[in-house]
């Protein structure tokens, strides 16, 4: 069957009968122009508010690009410290703040919101959605109690708390105007980690949880009252139960009638969205499917709509206008939830209204945002082995046999965390280039050895993944009994033979969005090193921001912020901040002074989180505050090594199922080696929720005392093995 781009003629026939608005049929592919150039046509409102940053990506285009140029490549050497403000919680912070007037609004752990004086950093108010009561919910969050930002409209600030509550707050006081519950089934592992988006008179939010057992959907609420306007499900439920809206009947035809409906199937919309006020279209990116292998999720195959897709929805009706699926039948965790940028660029001599995205799967997509027509799909990765290319006639990727790990274990690039994930990229209107934070990392995928069994509110991937360290050692991440790579290699000794070098690396790349030409790149590997299990792994570089001053800003895990020449990538300034930086920076101007600001925090480094602002002629950034480490309650001699192999193996499996998502390359500190004070407080932390304010949940509903004992034994024993 031909790849559907936008809606096929058949789908349009159905749509004309069911929808209130017409849909578009694509007339055929448009080949990219190697000499494509960008045009600058920002909205009048964007120019008027050029000194502000009013959405996560600055304006409605979500470009993470600012027209400010007081700070530029000629004077950026003078950039230094202006102010900082402490932020509670030690979990990794992934939100880009917004500035409206002279107030900065930023979210932190679990949906806590701060209003700060944007000139001084002084706190005006703080909103706590009830973090202390979220302890059990944290245990259901795939990647910790993170929050990716707030939305602002008409003197109100909107935020989604991790428990799925959506709040409208008074922008002057932080008081609650209204609150709604966005979760449809609290027996499943639904959470909210993304920022709300404003679409006309609606505030829109998706949910997280597809890595567990959730079924994806988007909810739209009246911006004034909080009344539900519509809800769009991104995957069908069991067809025997009927369909909530007509698009699901079409989508169900791309699923096995005996799909694992009980497992939710994923497709959650946990991050990337954008809204075009001129076209009145809302764009939503959707997540991967779960279980990952389509051979288990939908045994007879099929594209499995709307997994891994970009959806264009009419916000007035909640009906689909067009869709494009990046990864049909996704089996690799290749989400399409990365940030999307709206721009007007020239393709073969004609200016097109486009939407651009660099999802996990390694291809950079340019679509006509009016019709969904595919204009370009070029690799932004140099190592990309799951597919050879995207067929411009059908819009479908040409999947290689190398990707079919359900036949036998395979080394595949990129790994499940993707070549580019949630970290924002930026589109500079002056250079016409997109700046992408990139990871070149592969993984050995292997089906879990036991038959699939749905686990309520737990990880249901059914795939074991081994990714390489900088030193070439593979470490495992599993949600089931987990054979290590060494064990797999005994039966499959040629897995790595003839494949690309597995050494992981990270980069920031400047790419022409249509031709796909990489104009320049800078390697950032050493700045993104994550220490785990006495080895070094490559994590993500931080999000990117660009400016009309011909500058590109990016922060890193090593606690530095780099500023580069947007035209050639030359490093112009590197500022030591001290806290790891993962969120994208932003910039704004108050009383004639331009500031650059960003959240700086990560649970792994132990330092106090903070918002940091810089300006020209500023000082050296002071080091972050580090809390005193409690003295151990007992000496190490009193911590005996336990070598019971059954207990050790049980602890390892429980750790991989319940802890590794955050404590191996996630938001939380590595537990190997685990400090002795933590060893003695382990049960209070894990089963008692004593560190909920730091982002560590209460796992007592998931783990028994015996389970916790096994995990603790595994961690202590592993630590002692590493020390001998």
**Cα distance between residue 117 and residue 341, in whole Å:** 29
Q: Report DSSP state, residue 255.
A: S
Question: Is the distance from CB of 510 to CB of 554 less than 8 angstroms?
Answer: no
Question: Is the distance from CB of 469 to CB of 537 less than 8 angstroms?
Answer: yes
Which bin fits 162, alpha (ψ -120 to 50), beta or left (φ > 0)? alpha
Q: Which of 333, 368, 475, 550 is catalytic?
A: 333
- Alpha-carbon distances of 126 from 99, 526, 610, rounded to whole Å: 16, 36, 14
In the annotation, is 333 catalytic? yes
Angle at 56 between CA 50 and CA 57, to 5 degrees: 60
Question: Is the distance from CB of 120 to CB of 83 less than 8 angstroms?
Answer: yes
Task: Give residue 179's Cα distance to chain centre.
Answer: 25
Handedness of CA 643, 644, 647, 649 (dihedral sign): positive
Work out whether strand 544-547 and strand 65-66 pair parallel, antiparallel, or are unpaired.
parallel
| 71-109 per-residue burial string, b: 16 or more CB within 10 A, e: under 16 | bbbeebeebebbbbbebbbbbbbbbbbbbbeebbbbbbb
Handedness of CA 442, 444, 447, 449 (dihedral sign): negative
List all residues 6 or more positions away from 348 whose beta carbon is below 8 Å from its beta carbon.
30, 31, 32, 33, 36
Q: Is 83 helix (H, G, I), strand (E, B) or coil?
A: strand
DSSP letters along 508-527, please? EEEE-TTT--EEEEEE-GGG
* Tokens read off for 686: 């894990």
Q: Which residues is 574 bridged to in the sheet?
A: 562
Q: Quick one: which of 476, 469, 569, 566 has its CA closest to 524?
A: 569
Q: In what helix (H) or strand (E) does residue 711 lie, and over which residues does it extend?
A: helix 705-722
| 571-591 per-residue burial string, b: 16 or more CB within 10 A, e: under 16 | ebbebebbbbbbbbbbbbbbe
**Cα distance between residue 697 and residue 715, in whole Å:** 18
Question: Is the distance from CB of 54 to CB of 100 less than 8 angstroms?
Answer: yes
* Preceding peptide of 414 cis, ω within 30°: yes
Q: In what helix (H) or strand (E) does residue 296 lie, and over which residues does it extend?
A: helix 294-297
- Alpha-carbon distances of 530 from 371, 663, 721, rounded to whole Å: 42, 11, 21
Catalytic residues: 333
């Amino acid at each position: 069957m031909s790849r559907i781009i936008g809606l096929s003629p058949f789908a349009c026939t159905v749509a004309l009968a069911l929808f209130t608005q017409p849909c578009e049929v694509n007339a055929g592919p448009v080949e990219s122009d190697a000499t494509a150039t960008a045009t600058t046509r920002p909205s009048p409102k964007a120019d008027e508010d050029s000194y502000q940053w009013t959405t996560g990506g600055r304006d409605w285009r979500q470009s993470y690009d600012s027209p400010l140029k007081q700070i530029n490549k000629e004077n950026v050497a003078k950039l230094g410290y202006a102010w900082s403000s402490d932020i509670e919680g030690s979990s990794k912070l992934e939100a880009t703040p917004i500035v409206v007037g002279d107030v900065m609004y930023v979210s932190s752990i679990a949906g806590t919101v701060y209003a700060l004086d944007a000139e001084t950093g002084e706190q005006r108010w703080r909103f706590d959605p009830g973090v202390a009561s979220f302890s059990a919910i944290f245990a259901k969050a795939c990647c910790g109690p993170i929050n990716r930002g707030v939305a602002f409209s008409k003197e109100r600030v909107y935020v989604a708390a991790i428990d799925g509550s959506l709040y409208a707050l008074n922008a002057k006081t932080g008081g609650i105007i209204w609150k709604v519950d966005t979760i449809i089934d609290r027996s499943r592992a639904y959470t909210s980690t993304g920022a709300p988006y404003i679409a006309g008179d609606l505030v829109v939010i998706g949910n997280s949880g597809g890595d567990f057992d959730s079924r994806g959907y988007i909810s739209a609420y009246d911006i004034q009252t909080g009344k539900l306007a519509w809800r769009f499900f991104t995957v069908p439920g069991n067809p025997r139960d009927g369909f909530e809206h007509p698009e699901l009947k079409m989508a169900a035809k791309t699923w096995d009638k005996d799909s694992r409906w009980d497992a939710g199937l994923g497709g959650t919309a946990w991050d990337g969205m954008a809204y075009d006020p001129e076209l009145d279209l809302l764009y939503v990116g959707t997540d991967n499917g779960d279980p990952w292998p389509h051979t288990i999720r939908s045994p007879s195959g099929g594209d499995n709509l709307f997994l891994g897709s970009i959806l264009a929805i009419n916000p007035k009706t909640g009906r689909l206008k067009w869709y494009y699926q990046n990864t049909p039948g996704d089996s690799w965790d290749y989400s399409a939830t990365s940030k999307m940028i709206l721009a007007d660029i020239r393709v073969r001599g004609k200016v097109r209204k486009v939407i651009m995205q660099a999802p996990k799967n390694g291809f950079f997509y340019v679509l006509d945002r009016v019709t969904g027509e595919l204009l370009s799909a070029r690799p932004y990765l140099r190592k990309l082995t799951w597919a050879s290319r995207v067929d411009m006639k059908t819009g479908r990727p040409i999947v290689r046999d190398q990707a079919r790990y359900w036949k036998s274990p395979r080394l595949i690039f990129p790994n499940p965390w993707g070549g580019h994930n949630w970290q924002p990229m930026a589109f500079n209107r002056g250079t016409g280039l997109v700046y992408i934070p990139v990871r070149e990392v592969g993984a050995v995928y292997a089906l879990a050895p036991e038959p699939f069994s749905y686990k309520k509110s737990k990880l249901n991937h059914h795939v074991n993944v081994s990714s390489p360290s900088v030193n070439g050692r593979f470490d495992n991440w599993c949600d089931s009994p987990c054979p290590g790579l060494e064990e797999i290699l005994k039966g499959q000794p040629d897995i790595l033979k003839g494949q690309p070098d597995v050494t992981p690396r990270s980069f920031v790349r400047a790419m022409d969005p249509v031709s796909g030409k990489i104009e320049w790149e800078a390697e950032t590997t050493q700045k993104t090193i994550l220490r785990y299990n006495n080895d070094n792994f490559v994590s993500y570089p931080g999000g990117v921001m660009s400016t009309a001053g011909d500058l590109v800003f990016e922060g890193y895990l090593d606690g530095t912020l780099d500023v580069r020449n947007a035209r050639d990538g030359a490093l112009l300034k590197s500022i030591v901040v001290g806290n790891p930086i993962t969120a994208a920076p932003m910039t704004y101007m108050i009383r004639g002074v331009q500031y650059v600001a960003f959240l700086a925090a990560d649970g792994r480094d132990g330092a106090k989180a903070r918002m940091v602002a810089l300006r020209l002629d500023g000082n050296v950034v002071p080091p972050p505050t580090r809390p005193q480490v409690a003295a151990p309650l007992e000496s190490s001699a009193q911590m005996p090594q336990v070598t019971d192999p059954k207990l050790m193996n049980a602890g390892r499996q429980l750790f991989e199922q319940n802890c590794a998502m955050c404590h191996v390359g996630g938001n939380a500190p590595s537990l190997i080696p685990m400090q002795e004070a933590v060893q003695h407080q382990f049960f209070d932390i894990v089963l008692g929720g004593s560190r909920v304010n730091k982002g560590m949940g209460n796992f007592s509903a998931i783990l028994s005392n015996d389970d916790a004992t096994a995990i603790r034994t595994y961690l202590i024993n592993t630590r002692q093995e590493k020390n001998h």
